[in-house]
Structure 1
Amino acid sequence: MTEINCQSRATVLSGVALMCLGVACFGVNDAIAKVLADRYSPMQILFMRNVLALPVALLLALGFQGHRALRSSKPGVHLVRGVFWILATFLFFTSIKHVGLAKSTALLLASPLLIVAVSAVFLKERTGFNTWVVVISGLLGALIIVRPGLAGFDPLALLALLAALMAAFLMLSARWVDETESFWTLMLYLTASSALVSALAVPFFWVPLQVRDLILFAGVAAFGTAGMVLMTQAFRLAPATVVAPLDYTALLWATLFGWLFWNEVPDLITYIGAAAITLSGIISALQANEGK
């Protein structure tokens, strides 16, 4: 019994470590994207990231699942999910260029709360009073950061909130995918559909590439893909209530990188709003687990 408990504890700790590492990878991904956003459109960054990540996603899918990973019964759903992902990332990259890493990341982390709200309003899922209190508290935290109607209001901060909404739609659209499809199929099709969608749009945004920036584009592709794989594996190894709250460590990385490289220091009001979003998100995750 003791040996089994030790193995279980080790597995959970592995999940925690992978989640923290995955979130850190996304933090690096966002920081590199902010550097590139000074010279390129977010759409061109997305196109390059997806094109470079697609061969990696294909090799991973074939390596872990073989040719079965190439088959999907609902390719149209994957295309729709690719549109959601492109919109979410385009809006977020635009936001971090103008608003800053920490503030944009804090607003993006409202996505889990928006999933609950969208599910209740549009999908008619039953949601209790306590859940609504938590969701509304978190969304009020987002409004504190955005500050509509006040002197510190920056309309571009709304882009990060829209990105959170698109990310919520992306997560909810996973329900339309065939349940028998593996993670590797989902990752491959999401990367491929995003590459296709961005390829259709990128001619309107394209500027000549600088050779010195190729390593940065490769970094965005590498860290973005690594973050997705690591975080997914974390959820497989440890309970969601353990690893999901660790997603909010993204605020630490965003604040650190913003301060180190761009001298961005969020004000007290932003910290208060971020704290409300984080606390509400953690409570919402715990409530969701209790309801299972």
Structure 2
Amino acid sequence: MVEQSNRKGILLMVAVTFIFAMQDGISRHLAETYNVYMALMVRFWFFAAFVLVIAARSPGGIKRATRSSLPWAQLIRSVVLITEVIVMVQAFVYLGLVHSHAVFACYPLLVAALSGPVLGEKVGWRRVVAIGVGFIGVLIILQPGFGVFSPYALIPLAAALLFALYSLMTRYVGRVDPASVSFFYTGVVGAVVVTAVGIWHWENMILSDWGWMGILCFTAATGHFLLIKAYEVAEASAIQPFAYLQLVFASALGVIVFHEALEMNVVIGAAVVVSAGLFTLWRARVAAS
């Protein structure tokens, strides 16, 4: 039995958010130079290989990892995730890391809003108010009606909706399938789907960018592995709030490396969204206890 430690879980989650932020920066760099589908195809090849190795070394092997009680739900869930990744990387290219992550931070609110109609979970009035406040924060970031509204601003919002659906479907299949099965489907199905598209967009990369691609693949596998370990040693409610640090790390990377602007409306809006998200997480923990 794995020893439980919320402190260790929090440290692992902080490391995960930093790694994922660096991964987003590398994804933006590669997507600005090469086709997005091709770059993600190579990344998911490595991820699928990592998943297969983990499954082969687990009790029951690969055969157990493929045994799902809800195979069609697992397939749809995995397709939703790869679609979300493609959409989010496009957001990095068009909007940058700061704006994209500021809007994407609303996904826990979308999860809370949809958990009632989709999963039948009870959502109290306090969380409903927090969800409403959070979306006011999104509007502060997007600023519709001020100047010329860019439709590109809706890309990370679409990614947040897709990731919320992926999260809800993960909860749904998690009622009957172990995490190892969901993890296997995520990597293998994602690789198959993106390869079906990406193989037609192959571009030769220069040697230095192959180096960045190698780092991207390594960070993707490492980040997911540490995330699994974090949830293994600590309560989800204790470490989930620290996932918002990815917004901080990614924004810092965007400003320092990519010279993105940090407008006041984005800072205020992101603060509102994160505060509302933290409140919904706290209320969920209170309701569960």
The corresponding residue for 1:60 is: 54
- State how 1:109-258 maps to structure 2 within 5 Å: 109-123=105-119, 125-151=121-147, 153-177=149-173, 179-258=175-254
The corresponding residue for 2:35 is: 41
Matches of 1:161 and 1:179, distance apart in 2: 28
Kindly indicate whether the alpha-carbon contact (under 8 Å) linking 1:74 and 1:178 is maintained by their aligned counterparts in 2. Answer: no
- State how 1:27-38 maps to structure 2 within 5 Å: 27-38=21-32
- Higher mean alpha-carbon deviation, 233-242 vs 19-28, is at 233-242
Identity %: 27
Is 1:273 paired with 2:269?
yes
Q: Deviations over 1:118-141 (max 9, x none)?
A: 223455543221111101111111
Matches of 1:186 and 1:125, distance apart in 2: 21
Matches of 1:100 and 1:273, distance apart in 2: 16
The corresponding residue for 2:11 is: 17
**Count of aligned residue pairs for this structure pair:** 284
- Higher mean alpha-carbon deviation, 47-56 vs 120-129, is at 120-129
Matches of 1:152 and 1:28, distance apart in 2: 31
Measured on the aligned residues, the alpha-carbon RMSD in Å equals 1.9
Kindly indicate whether the alpha-carbon contact (under 8 Å) linking 2:98 and 2:255 is maintained by their aligned counterparts in 1. Answer: no
Kindly indicate whether the alpha-carbon contact (under 8 Å) linking 1:65 and 1:184 is maintained by their aligned counterparts in 2. Answer: no
Unaligned runs of 5+ in 1: 1-6
What amino acid does structure 2 have at the position aligned with 1:131?
A: R
Structure 1 residue 211, shift from structure 2 partner: 3.6
Structure 1 residue 71, shift from structure 2 partner: 2.9
Structure 1 residue 208, shift from structure 2 partner: 3.0
What amino acid does structure 1 have at the position aligned with 2:7?
A: L
Task: Return the TM-score normalized by structure 1.
Answer: 0.90
Unaligned runs of 5+ in 2: none
Change (3 A) 1:249 1:271: same
What amino acid does structure 1 have at the position aligned with 2:203?
A: V
Matches of 1:98 and 1:115, distance apart in 2: 25
Task: Return the TM-score normalized by structure 2.
Answer: 0.91
What amino acid does structure 2 have at the position aligned with 1:17?
A: L
Structure 1 residue 177, shift from structure 2 partner: 2.1
What amino acid does structure 1 have at the position aligned with 2:114?
A: V
Matches of 1:158 and 1:277, distance apart in 2: 16
